[in-house]
Amino acid sequence: MKIFCIGRNYAEHAKELNNELPENPVVFMKPTTALLKDGQAFYYPDFTNDLHYEGEIVLRIGKNGKKIQEKFANKYIDAFTIGFDLTARDIQNDLKSKGLPWELAKGFDGSAIIGNFIKINENINLSELKFSILKNDVTVQMGNAADMIFSFERVISFVSQYFTLQQGDLIFTGTPKGVGALAIGDVLNGFYDGEKLVSVEIK
């Protein structure tokens, strides 16, 4: 199972981190040891002083495929949830400034938090999926897939030109504006359509 993540997929978020808008999806990966699910607690790591949440829609791939055409890409989405791409922003900024890869800032244990999946059905309009992220019961992020620079289909097509997608692979599709720092004791919740899909406490 592979975990892909898309960076800078919402213009307003790219702006808040002073990043240029990309011409193609920005792709990075996390190892499977980054997965945190079923409401497990996250323990604040001692290697960072600036841990950030990034609330995102996470797609689950339902069947194997490579070099998938954009027009068929939605057939490869089996389910979605809300997740958190946890980021050691201080480490990421240091690596970015040196032109180095981001793994230490993005791929550490527990940095890929996922919630309960919702199976795709005909009542779900993927192109306008809306979600919201609450930190300590205050809304900090509101996302709508319609605001993504690269659609789910474009992302799946692009990633599959390089990597064979396999059943069960996950794709974090990017975060809207409103990312921010976490402290011990914070609780993050992610909602879709009034339903809480993901919850995590920082310990």
Instruction: Report in angstroms how near the CB of residue 179 gets to Zn ion at its nearest.
Output: 8
Q: Which of 20-28, 54-62, 120-128, 130-138 is the region at the interface with Zn ion (rule: CB under 5 A)? A: 54-62
Residues 75-94 that bind Zn ion (CB under 5 A): 85
- Single out the residue of 48, 54, 80, 159 in contact with Zn ion (rule: CB under 5 A): 54
Instruction: Report in angstroms how near the CB of residue 71 gets to Zn ion at its nearest.
Output: 26
- Report how far apart, in Å, the C-alpha atoms of 21 and of each of 7, 73, 128, 180 are: 10, 23, 21, 20
Nearer to Zn ion, 3 or 65 (CB): 3
Cite the beta strand spans of the chain per DSSP E. 3-7, 26-30, 35-36, 51-53, 55-61, 77-85, 87-88, 112-114, 118-119, 130-135, 138-144, 170-172, 180-181, 187-192, 195-201
Instruction: Report in angstroms how near the CB of residue 148 gets to Zn ion at its nearest.
Output: 12
Binding site for Zn ion (CB under 5 A): 54, 85, 175
